[in-house]
Amino acid sequence: MAHEHKDSEMNDVETRTFFAPDSQSQRHNVPYKVGIPPKQDLLKEFKTTVKETFFSDDPLRLFKHQTKSKQLMLGLQAIFPILDWGRSYNLRNFRGDLIAGLTIASLCIPQDIGYSKLAFLPPQYGLYSSFVPPLIYAFMGSSRDIAIGPVAVVSLLLGTLLQNEFDPVSDANEYRRLAFTATFFAGITQATLGVFRLGFLIDFLSHAAVVGFMGGAAITIALQQLKGFLGIKHFTKKTDIVSVMKSVFGSIEHGWNWQTIVIGASFLAFLLSAKYLGKKNKKLFWVPAIAPLISVILSTLFVYIAHADKEGVAIVKHIEKGINPPSVNEIYFSGENLLKGFRIGIVAGMIALTEAVAIGRTFAAMKDYQVDGNKEMIALGTMNVVGSMTSCYVATGSFSRSAVNYMAGCQTAVSNIVMSLVVFLVLKFLTPLFEYTPNAILSSIIISAVIGLIDYEAAILIWKIDKFDFVACMGAFLGVVFASVEIGLLIAVAISFAKILLQVTRPRTAILGRIPMTSVYRNIQQYPEATKVPGVLIVRVDSAIYFSNSNYIKERILRWLTEEEDQLKATYQRVQFLIIEMSPVTDIDTSGIHAFEELYRSLVKRDVQLVLANPGRLVLDKLYSSGFPDLIGENKIFLTVADAVLTCSPKIVQEV
């Protein structure tokens, strides 16, 4: 059988080398020549690298061979996609957008009021941030399903970062001004990343890390709500679970307010069951969507009628009436507060970006349209910069509201316009109605909203798929819950980087064997039936060979060799050929070539011949310019492992 196989393989070689089939005489054929690529033009090479790095999406593709006017039009459309899809906008689309817009509006109003509390800002600022930013996004954004506005996690993050600098109560003024400054620079950061096409930077926060971070943030937020939910007056400023629990149970006797708890609990039950209903029956998605508004209305009425506020039920009291006042002059453009705002802005901006882009991608994949990451960042950035000048704080895409938006059948970003118009009306006329809204309700709404962010299924899947990812996930989660949001974030990023560095420092290597009755060579660990070729050791290196791993690879290969020789000692055989399968070696640098030269020297000392199989274009390129092939002999480089083995094994046969 094995012999028959050899023949069939010889056939391959013959056809390759244009000889008449004759398996005996062909053993010393030269196999198919390995392609030596034409010398790369440096400038060209450099340009392609830059292009792939920053313009991988080839943004100017459309502009090629177009008239000037057309190009101008396309340019405008690139900045304002609404000019593109707006022209094909019809009534049917509007119907969908209207319904969706109204739904998310009803959801966002109570959320906004709650979230602004998370950011330690007066309630109206949440509403402000749901009025201006969505409008701007609608014109510039490329996602059709994202719902813009303040979100829980960013509000929390902003709040924690800001109160490290100013006390939100005693120096409320500086606090608010710093908030706008941070928002301004968050926007600048986002836009800059987009303009300089550094969008890929946010990819460095891995999916696993984000899952963990979000989950942790959700729990932290929920814990923060215990203040409003239990009606506790004196609550810790810290966000870690330990100090929160302390201040919760420390205030049992005198701190809690049973009326508050009753209201909060009953409505939380209502909200959760509504959520459950919506989950069970997709048709009823609107139930959880409007439940918050309903509960706000009911509870407000109840408190108003029953004068529950006299019983110590904390209420919103006052929401400023009227639309966003300008806040340009409030932004710190100088002094150390500028730096503070800058620092906070970068962090908040990046996180907001991660969330928005994640949402954009998810829904784009569902409906199969492309969201241009960099364009998206410019849109989000602009919207936050303008927002910071109109009394808004950092806004971005909200997971919960975007999902509702999608299920409510939104067609375009118009749903955001509808929403912001509703918010406008509320700001203009209805804010006084919220005076008697109990904080407990807002807490319940936030709790029921953030629960959705705890994606334990994803965590389980991550555990199943990749243990290292799970560590990153848990690290972020625990970091947020037990330390603080920043710490959690730091851990997440650190672990993500550690993973990359580990990959490039300790690449995998594998011993290959021939799959029975084929000319295919595979990892003998994966295919136990694969058999080694006597006298030949075939090693596959599973990574680009760079300074960071060249020494390791060299030593690992020599170790494979030593181990093999130790095994062979008994059989009085020895390894005569070391074949390195280079297919996965995508690139090599000078350190790598040095390592190869050292490897070659050690092999010569051991009287083992070095053979390379299928080096890629780049690698071959560099090997030749370093003169390595002349060192080992050009006839030592083959197209496939099979070829290499064919030319080695006969020599062995002769010796034995």
- Please list, in sequence order, all residues whose beta carbon lies within 8 angstroms of the beta carbon of residue 558, skipping any fewer than 6 positions away: 599, 602
| Residues of the chain by 3-state class (helix, strand, coil), percent to 5 | 70, 5, 25
Near a second copy in 81-110, by CB under 8 A: none
Examine residue 520 and tell whether it contacts a second copy (CB under 8 A).
yes
CA R_g for the chain? 32
Examine residue 526 and tell whether it contacts a second copy (CB under 8 A).
yes
Examine residue 262 and tell whether it contacts a second copy (CB under 8 A).
no
CB 31 within 8 A of CB 17: yes
Examine residue 639 and tell whether it contacts a second copy (CB under 8 A).
yes
Which one of residues 584, 631, 651, 652 is an interface residue with a second copy (CB under 8 A)?
584
Examine residue 377 and tell whether it contacts a second copy (CB under 8 A).
no
Examine residue 435 and tell whether it contacts a second copy (CB under 8 A).
no
Near a second copy in 585-604, by CB under 8 A: 586-587, 589-591, 593-594, 598, 601-602
We find the least distance from the C-beta atom of residue 293 to a second copy, in angstroms, to be: 34
Which one of residues 527, 565, 568, 573 is an interface residue with a second copy (CB under 8 A)?
527
We find the least distance from the C-beta atom of residue 618 to a second copy, in angstroms, to be: 8
From the list 240-248, 287-295, 446-454, 547-555, the region that binds a second copy by CB under 8 A is 547-555
Closer to a second copy at the Cβ: 76 or 460? 460
CA distance 171 to 442: 25
From the list 217-225, 291-299, 403-411, 501-509, the region that binds a second copy by CB under 8 A is 501-509
Which one of residues 59, 616, 631, 651 is an interface residue with a second copy (CB under 8 A)?
616
Examine residue 531 and tell whether it contacts a second copy (CB under 8 A).
no
CA distance 71 to 62: 9
- How far from chain centre, in Å, is Cα 630? 46
Examine residue 8 and tell whether it contacts a second copy (CB under 8 A).
yes
Q: Locate tokens 């899809």: which residue?
A: 85
CA distance 134 to 383: 8
Examine residue 4 and tell whether it contacts a second copy (CB under 8 A).
yes
Q: 481-500 mask for a second copy (x: CB under 8 A)?
A: ---------------x--xx
Q: Locate tokens 């408190």: which residue?
A: 303
CA distance 545 to 424: 59
Near a second copy in 9-38, by CB under 8 A: 11-12, 15-16, 32, 35, 37
The encoded tokens of residue 397 equal 């895409």
We find the least distance from the C-beta atom of residue 589 to a second copy, in angstroms, to be: 5
Near a second copy in 408-427, by CB under 8 A: none
Examine residue 56 and tell whether it contacts a second copy (CB under 8 A).
yes
CA distance 250 to 106: 37
What ranges in 166-206 are assigned the alpha helix state H?
Answer: 172-195
Near a second copy in 340-359, by CB under 8 A: none
Q: Which amino acid is at 450?
A: V
Q: 201-240 mask for a second copy (x: CB under 8 A)?
A: --xxxxxxx-------------------------------
CB 614 within 8 A of CB 582: yes
Which one of residues 142, 324, 405, 640 is an interface residue with a second copy (CB under 8 A)?
640
Examine residue 631 and tell whether it contacts a second copy (CB under 8 A).
no
Q: Which amino acid is at 483?
A: A
Question: Count of H helices and E strands in the chain?
Answer: 27, 8
Would you tell me the crossing angle of helices 2-17 and 641-655 to the nearest 10 degrees? 120
3-state secondary structure of 540: strand
The encoded tokens of residue 480 equal 């947020």
